[in-house]
A and B are shown apart, each in its own frame.
Chain A
């Protein structure tokens, strides 16, 4: 197979894998938005502290991997419940920008917490996966990407099923649709809000483990949160399948830009190419590809 073609396949496979891993983080964002209409600007920081929790229990407490993962997930669930209780419950009914700003403030707090109590050095999150890539024909696929993509697909499928079929999922969708009517029907809105944030916590923990292992656990890990925006906007803010499609598109576009556009324009297009695509997509479908169209009534 010719060099150029095999490079193209390499880029494509890298894009698909990384895209699916982005979807995992985007899933956290979508879960919260779908259930509570709250925009979580602190998604990257959630991933960071989840990874920090897992890394610390492995390094400082010497726990084996599966215990650390459980600690991370449990910790994030509690964090989600606590967050909803302490901060977000008071902001119900406020304009959306207040919640956005609250999550930005939260992001700032979380960024300071890690280095204050645990030092600024990068911690290593060792997963029992080798670093040697799988070689399939012309493709080099690192095992960590395979793991990430699999986890991502599995959990997106699971949450998708949850929202569609299970009782709790339907209740959550009702709450997201119209809080007052849901309350009138006897649904405990506040408990479901807490549950939504807890689910985001779980997804952040998974994302944290995978991305933390790939990038190393330090403050910079929170920066993956910025990648989440083009993914969710393209896919639709409240659409779970949109998270996968958005992630795939962003991953592919980034790699195509880096591989084929960069050499001509001097580099750096990788970061904003998905945004350009996003604007074009928004002009055609203003609520994202799969997003729910908001009907405004006067």
Chain B
């Protein structure tokens, strides 16, 4: 039905290597851009935009984790800690040196990348689940350091207030303004990741994931690329942490504990390991799921049960449905939402024919 590739001919290498060579892909991206940049922010109430902001922050984090886990095959449960490193770096710079937000953002990301590379050093010797638990150790140690070293944490409360970011004379304080601010970085992150995985570095990552010993034999320096994977992934995490801090107005390590790391793992597994679209879909799914469940319970729960019981039931039901949905997705489609979407798309690609 939608003959995507018919009649598409390129006359230069650049045109052929472009990110979206097919016209239909370009139209789709343009439509999505219009929806997310124009339609949604102008029509939705601020509450929904705030949820959208949470989703965008999660997307950037999920992209980073997918680079490490999905493309390079190194399981990491330390994502939350790298976010808090980024957050506290930026917060400290903002309060001590009064530096502008681009500097803080970059510094937060780079610091997190450095820490990530250090945490990734064991990855040369250790593989699989053992590496995952080693990264968990990294998470706990970083948490403890931030908690106890007052130079970093800014005092007993371990919370550092951060002023809102300013774009020239405009102070970004409302959810709508935050939405555009975050969307900008999301687009950067998505385009960056798409290009990264098509590049030489990305191919090295995929080689390491598939057969790292064979990769080493053909000349890929796996130690360097593994560390690079950790560093790049932690950079994304650091940026996520900084953006989250600017979103909230405060940096606090208790927001980046192990449950956050596990949430991000859930996002990329449900979304699909090793795919950018998967990270985005997974982040949306995991962030929106609790909210949707709660809205559903509020709308329909009152029909069956007394209000107090509903209130007690909603959060537990949410936990159970979260777990049940994860298992459901894993059983039905272990390669995640990404594969689900590809199946639908391929179906329409050759419809009404079967193959």
Contacts and interface: CB of A to CB of B under 8 A. Distances in A.
Among B125, B313, B316, B322, the most chain A Cβ lie within 10 Å of the Cβ of: B316
B287 to A, nearest CB: 16
Contacts of B322: 105, 108
B323 interface: yes
A266 interface: yes
B323 A106 contact: yes
B32 interface: no
Nearest to A105: B326
A266 B147 CA distance: 10
B73 to A, nearest CB: 9
Contact of A112 (B144, B270, B318): B318
A97 interface: yes
Nearest to A111: B319
Contacts of A115: 312, 316
Given A279-B122, A286-B126, A268 B330 contact: no
Contacts of B127: 286, 294
A117 to B, nearest CB: 9
B125 A283 contact: yes
B133 A278 contact: yes
B321 to A, nearest CB: 8
A113 B320 contact: yes
A272 B141 contact: yes
A87 B331 contact: yes
Given A97-B273, A98-B330, A116-B317, A286 B141 contact: no
B129 A91 contact: no
B265 interface: yes
Interface in B226-270: 262, 265-266, 269-270
Nearest to B141: A272
A94 interface: yes
Interface string B318-355: 11101111110011001000000000000000000000
Among A112, A275, A282, A296, the most chain B Cβ lie within 10 Å of the Cβ of: A112
Interface stretch (A69-77, A176-184, A194-202, A229-237): A229-237
A102 B134 contact: no
A276 B122 CA distance: 12
B137 interface: yes
Interface in B90-143: 122, 125-130, 133-134, 136-137, 140-141
Interface in B255-300: 262, 265-266, 269-270, 273
Interface in A265-298: 265-269, 271-272, 275-276, 278-279, 282-283, 286-288, 294, 296, 298
B134 A279 contact: yes
A39 interface: yes
Interface string B51-71: 000000000000000000100
B156 to A, nearest CB: 11
A282 B134 contact: yes
28 contacts: A39-B129, A91-B334, A94-B334, A101-B265, A102-B331, A104-B266, A104-B323, A104-B326, A105-B323, A105-B324, A105-B325, A106-B323, A108-B322, A111-B319, A111-B323, A112-B318, A113-B320, A268-B144, A272-B140, A275-B136, A276-B137, A278-B137, A282-B126, A282-B130, A294-B127, A294-B128, A298-B211, A298-B217
Q: Which 6 A-B pairs have the closest CB atoms?
A: A108-B323, A105-B326, A275-B137, A112-B319, A109-B323, A112-B320
Interface of B: 69, 75, 122, 125-130, 133-134, 136-137, 140-141, 144, 147-148, 211, 213-214, 217, 262, 265-266, 269-270, 273, 312-313, 316-320, 322-327, 330-331, 334
Interface of A: 39, 87, 90-91, 94-98, 100-102, 104-113, 115-116, 120, 229-230, 233, 237, 265-269, 271-272, 275-276, 278-279, 282-283, 286-288, 294, 296, 298
